[in-house]
Amino acid sequence: MSKMNHSANLLIVEGEVDKKFIKRLCNQHGMSLVHVFPATPEDLLSDGCGNGKSGVYQALEDFLPNLADASKPLKRLAIIVDADQAKDGQSFHTTFDTITQRLKAFDYHFDNQASNDSSGLIFSHSDSGFNPIGVWIMPNNQEDGAIESWISACIDPTKCDLFPHAQTVVNGLSTSFNRIFIGNKQAKAEVATWLAWQKSPSIGLYAAVSLLDSQSSEYKNLVTWLNYVFPEPPKH
């Protein structure tokens, strides 16, 4: 984690794929000063961190004390995780409850008003001198799902003609080949198939950023939250 210790703005995500997607989204909206963790694939294995929510939770608890240390440059911190599916033993509600309890241990509590203002989830400290912690539970801080579920809801209408066909193909695998996608794997397979059919096929999820509708409510809500948690520094 040493590479991120020099960052004032840190956004923790579940892994390398999510990192590339979110970093491109941030850059597209002028948030170049937001550093996305993990910084490198090797960081996933350092200090006990790994892919998925457990890695995010571990990194969150590792970085939170830095906010109270004036000698550390870290000032703003946020996380993005998947809600996942109830059928897999996870859901929006269980994820929200887990995060709430972990942040409560550091004296951060859910702030309903700030959450409404930010279009996301905000946890404020009892000491107003601390910046709030931002939380986004994919896809929309309400429903079960994953980052691919959010992407599906944000596809540009002028570029979505192939997406229904991708959904049909993936669904057909369950009947024709007895291949059943459980939980988030359904949305992941649909988005991956759709991306593979573009004029410039890419195996990287980050390629989807340019195919999204920036005017959709789901898209605007996430960008609003990012700007709330990581406001642009004042110009001198």
Query: What pLDDT, in 10s, does the model give residues 85-107?
Result: 988 889 999 999 999 999 999 99
Domain boundaries, given as residue ranges, for the chain: 2-146+215-229, 148-211
Beta bridge partners of 145: 84
Q: Are 10 and 209 in contact (CB under 8 A)?
A: no
Q: 180's torsion region: left (phi>0), alpha (psi -120 to 50) or beta?
A: beta
Q: Which of 39-43, 87-91, 150-154, 177-181 has the lowest mean pLDDT?
A: 39-43
Mean per-residue pLDDT, 131-156: 97
For residue range 191-234, list pLDDT tens digits in order: 999 999 988 876 689 999 999 999 999 999 999 999 999 998 76
Q: Are 11 and 29 in contact (CB under 8 A)?
A: no
- Residue 232, judged by CB atoms within 10 A of its CB (0-12, 13-18, 19+), counts as exposed
AA letter at 56: V
Residue 139 backbone dihedrals phi, psi, to 5 degrees:
-90, -30
Tokens of 128: 């107003």
pLDDT at 142 over 50: yes
Looking at per-residue pLDDT, the higher value among 82 and 182 belongs to 82
The percentage of residues in the chain with a pLDDT greater than 70, rounded to a whole number, is 88
pLDDT at 49 over 70: no
Q: Are 70 and 45 in contact (CB under 8 A)?
A: no
In the chain the first and final C-alpha atoms are separated, in Å, by 31
The pLDDT score that the predictor gives to residue 183 is: 73
Q: Which of 23-37, 65-79, 166-180, 182-196 has the lowest mean pLDDT?
A: 166-180
Cα 104 → chain centroid: 21
Q: Which of 37, 29, 141 is nearest to 96 (CA)?
A: 141
* CATH architecture label of 2-146+215-229: 3-Layer(aba) Sandwich (3.40)
